Structure 1
């Protein structure tokens, strides 16, 4: 799907990001000032589905962001932890050379990727004390173990851990796969701890929040031009842009 901002987006595909040999794709705005605000965007539980996030990544790049989208495998022996953390290490080391910011960037995820992203902020010791600039969670569950840390984000919050950075949430109000109440529960827990947590619930479903539709024939999410999905994806791109620019309350 083409971006909607009138900005040319350059795509670099298939960069190997670590010892696992897994690959990621880079989306960047052409002729943008560098370093561009940067987002590392994790897909959901389907193994090696970085292509599923292309519509959203392209739209976000058209807003001026450098977006890195890696493959990872939830069916790996460790649940995908090594792949996710390898991609994070790559972003920290290499984003600068790709036109972005490797020191301070947004960590975002869809579905299972959302809890994985928040887990890093709650347990920075898992990544040498590093925290992202912000976390953006899309259609996630936070009562399950994060793939990055092995601990449920809600349990970490209950135990007194703090994400330490802004958290932005988006969840389709018609999501039948991961109900919107899971994001509401997280927002309530964070607000109880004194944090301001923007939560948007666009009128779309689990796939629509990333500008896709579920295709039963292939068991994958594919690009769609459905108005509800396009509208939701544009809203998510704006959230990513705000988070990457330092918007939101810590």
Structure 2
């Protein structure tokens, strides 16, 4: 399914007053699955995820992308919590199904998302229906929980009700080595969690359809073939994790 997308930008969420964008598939006949998608380390960079969010929405899923600040005194945990509460309480207003929300993130946001699955008690005991970690590293503390996701998994993963974890990582990523996602996938499977890893032929920025531009110190949209292909694959994973059967094929390894 491919459809038109309606974008609502600059919506305020939470007591902190941060901003959030919503990408809605137009003309849905009923409530559709949703994805809460967190950006990476750059403060208030929801725009970096615009292309991949739009691509996922075209496949029929609502995508909500909030700003947050990893440089906040608490590492951004308050912003991330407020965004999750906002989405759970308000997703139906955008045509989404509050019972079908996947949580996803890129880079540091990916670590934050995986942390919620593996230490839910540190994040209000919320259990999204699936997790997507995009180009993340999982061997240091997550901003959502303050604990190390892979350590949480190894200590108590067998005691938690498992939820699907979908991982995406570029094989040419020089910022976060793909071995971090391979390690997590193996550890999840050892604990009996449903886990997949989509390895895509691109770098850290290309996996979300962008390129890092040094003079701007940020990722900007890319039309390079490897980034377009990889970003499309990432959008597929977001849609699949939320429960939509996407059009593009996804390779698992």
TM class, shorter-length? over 0.9
1:189: how far off?
0.7
Match for 1:57 among 24, 38, 53? 53
Tell me how far apart the structure 2 counterparts of residues 154 and 6 of structure 1 sit (CA, whole Å): 36
Q: Distance in 2 between matches of 1:66 and 1:169?
A: 20
- 1:36 aligned partner: 32
Which 5+ residue runs of structure 1 have no aligned equivalent? none
1:140 aligns with 2:152: no
- Gaps (5+ residues) in structure 2? 246-253
Q: How many correspondences in the alignment?
A: 243
Which stretch shifts more, 163-172 or 124-133? 124-133
> In the TM superposition, what whole-angstrom CA distance separates every residue of 1:4-55 from its partner, at most 9, and x where no partner exists?
x752110000110100010000001111222111000000000000000000
1:178 maps to which residue?
176
Runs of 4+ in 1 over 6 A off after TM superposition: none
CA distance in 1, matches of 2:66, 2:125: 22
C-alpha distance in structure 1 between counterparts of 2:172 and 2:98, whole Å: 35
**Partner of 2:183: helix, strand, or coil?**
helix
User: Which residue is equivalent to 2:145?
Assistant: 149
2:117 corresponds to 1:115? no
**Out of 185, 196, 199, which is 2:197 matched to?**
199
| TM-score (normalised: structure 1) | 0.94
The answer to whether the Cα contact below 8 Å between 2:44 and 2:69 also exists between their aligned partners in 1 is: yes
Q: SS of 2:96's equivalent?
A: coil
1:21 matched to 2:14: no
| Aligned counterpart, 2:93 | 97
Q: Distance in 2 between matches of 1:92 and 1:19?
A: 15
Matches within 5 A, 1:66-105: 66-105=62-101
Give TM-score, length-normalised by structure 2.
0.93
Q: For residues 124 and 201 of structure 2, what CA distance do their matches in structure 1 show?
A: 39
More strand by share: 2
RMSD: 1.4
The alpha carbon displacement at 1:163 in A equals 6.4
Whole-Å separation in 2 of the counterparts to 1:93 and 1:196: 27
Q: 1:200 to 1:147 in 2, by over 3 A?
A: same
